[in-house]
Amino acid sequence: MSSPPCDPGFSPIVLAYRDMLERARRAGEVPLKIGVEREGGLISPFETSIPDPVTDAEPGTTRRLVERLVKFLLWSRGGWKVHFQGPSAIGEHIRDHYAADGPRAFDVRLMSRVYERPFEVSLHRSGTFPEARESRRHLGGFLDGCRIGFDLGASDYKIAAVKDGVPVFSEELPWAPAVEADPDYHYRHIREGLKRAAGHLPRVDAIGGSSAGVFIDNQVRIASLFRAVPEDVFENKVKGLFLRLRDEWGVPFEVLNDGEVTALAGMMSLEEKAVLGLAMGSSQAAGFLNEDGHLMDWLDELAFVPVDISPGAPVDEWSGDRGVGANYFSQQAVNRLALAAGFRFPEAMALPERLKEVQARMDAGDERAARIYETIGVTLGYTVPWYEVFYRFRNLLVLGRVMSGPGGDVIVRKAAEVLEAEFPGTAARVRIHLLDERSRRVGQAVAAASLPEIDTEEKAKGVRP
């Protein structure tokens, strides 16, 4: 195994999963089925094999891996209910972990909030198991008319004015939404940004946006940008924030998770389908477009999925879980690795400024900075085949603030080296793409502008700024 220079304790979960499958092959295997159910009876099933509990030499590792599989499925697909069919002891282990007072109480609480239903784990002892029922939809890629696109990040708010597919204005506006308890702060900043973009267009026909979080029918269900807002205020003033803006502007208005817009940006730029997009910014965002270029209506919140199975893996400050994506592919990761590499920052310096300092040192040829990006690249190389267990993609698009500058090239190069050396099958199937520098920073805002579809009648009555 290639060791990440600034994270020697990293233990790729994909290697543990591969070892478990090999143990099952040698010692006797039993089938395992896991399904997650979300809105409207949609169900995403997953099947694999695990070692027979009677002959399993590492039962604790197997239980741990099965729990990690459940965690990945919940945050990649989404769901208020877990269906489980397999060894009863492991099923009870899952039920205990995903109880309201269990180790995964955070996941239980947020999934209940997203889907507005009590969370549950259903153990299927035998007989039939729920069949797959998925949703697919085409959204985005519309370039006609005068459009505004926005991308809400934790440290900046990107806006773009686009006319017939050509950006005529783009800007990055600083803000600090995650520490603001007053939702009017968020509303004012978004509204003012839209007005700035509108000033560069003869009219506004449609508005599209992206943001970290979970959105269903343009409603905010969870989002780290609003984490300081009290829950009762969130329900009354944040959940319908984008519906309010839509009604005020009176034009087609669509908001998606920023990862989904990342994937859309990739499909539009690369003219390729089967795209998994990763945005490494304040956190990790992801989105997936299948082989037909359709969205699957999955959560794709890979910031919360496990990638490192080491018992000493870093703890995510929000979920309290160890080894999840946000601590490996984001500004948080750069800060963690920078401290390990020997950087020291003023205590009051925020993560975006720390990232800028690391990038400046990278430009200056600082070997410590290079090791940070090499570490992220090696980690990504071991994570891509893990993503392949759950997603069928041919193109991996990486962008976001962390990927800016020469460090982004180092990340892609090191990831490719790991794949070629240890996962040649994945290396043959998957291409890693890095957009040009400008597209890395504002490409999502431009792609977001393409989300709403407008008809001729709507275009004729576009809003004048």
Residue length of the chain:
465
> H helices of 315-455, where?
331-341, 351-363, 367-388, 406-422, 424-429, 437-449
pLDDT at 292 over 80: yes
pLDDT band at 451 (very low <50, low <70, confident <90, very high): very high
Domain regions of the chain by residue span: 13-123, 137-465
pLDDT value of residue 250: 95
What's the rounded mean pLDDT across residues 319-336? 97
Give, as one character, the DSSP assignment of residue 127: S
Name which of 383, 357, 450 is nearest 17 in CA terms: 383
Q: Spell out the residues 6+ positions from residue 109 whose beta carbon is closer than 8 angstroms to its own.
A: 100, 119
Residue 450 three-state SS: coil
d(CA 102, CA 296): 30
Tell me the per-residue pLDDT of 79-94, one tens digit each, with 9 for 90 and over: 999 999 999 999 999 9
**pTM greater than 0.75:** yes
- The residue type found at 240 is G
Q: Is the Cα torsion angle 11, 13, 14, 16 positive or negative in sign?
A: positive
Give, as one character, the DSSP assignment of residue 322: B
- Between 338 and 155, residue with greater pLDDT: 338
Six-digit token string for 3: 């060791």
d(CA 204, CA 199): 10
Query: 137-465: CATH homologous superfamily?
Result: ATPase, nucleotide binding domain (3.30.420.40)
pLDDT value of residue 323: 98
Least confident stretch, 95-99, 232-236, 365-369: 232-236
Q: DSSP string of 346-365?
A: -TT--HHHHHHHHHHHHHTT
pLDDT at 461 over 60: no
Tell me the per-residue pLDDT of 40-80, one tens digit each, with 9 for 90 and over: 999 999 999 999 999 999 999 999 999 999 999 999 999 99
Q: Spell out the residues 6+ positions from residue 405 whose beta carbon is closer than 8 angstroms to its own.
A: 359, 362, 363, 437
In the chain, the percentage of residues whose pLDDT exceeds 90 is 75
Tell me the per-residue pLDDT of 180-214, one tens digit each, with 9 for 90 and over: 999 999 999 999 999 999 999 999 999 999 887 88
Name which of 34, 43, 40, 214 is nearest 113 in CA terms: 214
| H/E segment holding residue 59 | helix 59-77
pLDDT value of residue 440: 46
d(CA 277, CA 316): 22
